[in-house]
């Protein structure tokens, strides 16, 4: 589970999956859940809360447990399936 603030979520996921971010380059990321805030200060406060308070992150994981499992299974299946190019 990755927690982070971004003003452009789509761009951030692409950066993580392209290997441009040192801390996340060894994994393939799929967006399963996000929270949106109108104010940057609120978003950063929530990010800190999730990163610093284990209980807050644990509650979030419990709330989205099924989505996390489905997302992991789908990603695993995609990584195991041959690409379209390999089949040609």
Break the chain into its structural domains and give their ranges: 9-87
pLDDT of 55 strictly over 80: yes
Please check the confidence at residue 11 and state whether its pLDDT lies above 60: yes
What Å distances lie between residue 19 and 32, 62, 73, 77, CA to CA? 19, 29, 22, 21
32-54 residue pLDDT tens: 888 899 999 999 999 999 888 88
CA-derived radius of gyration, the chain: 15
């Amino acid at each position: 589970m990755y927690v982070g603030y971004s003003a452009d979520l789509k761009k951030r996921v692409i950066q993580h999956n392209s290997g441009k971010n040192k801390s996340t380059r060894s994994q393939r990321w799929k967006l399963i859940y996000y929270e949106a805030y109108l104010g940057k200060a609120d978003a950063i406060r929530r990010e800190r809360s999730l990163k610093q308070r284990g209980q807050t992150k644990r509650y979030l994981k419990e709330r989205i447990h099924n989505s996390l499992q489905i997302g992991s299974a789908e990603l695993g299946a995609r990584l195991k399936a041959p690409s379209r190019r390999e089949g040609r």
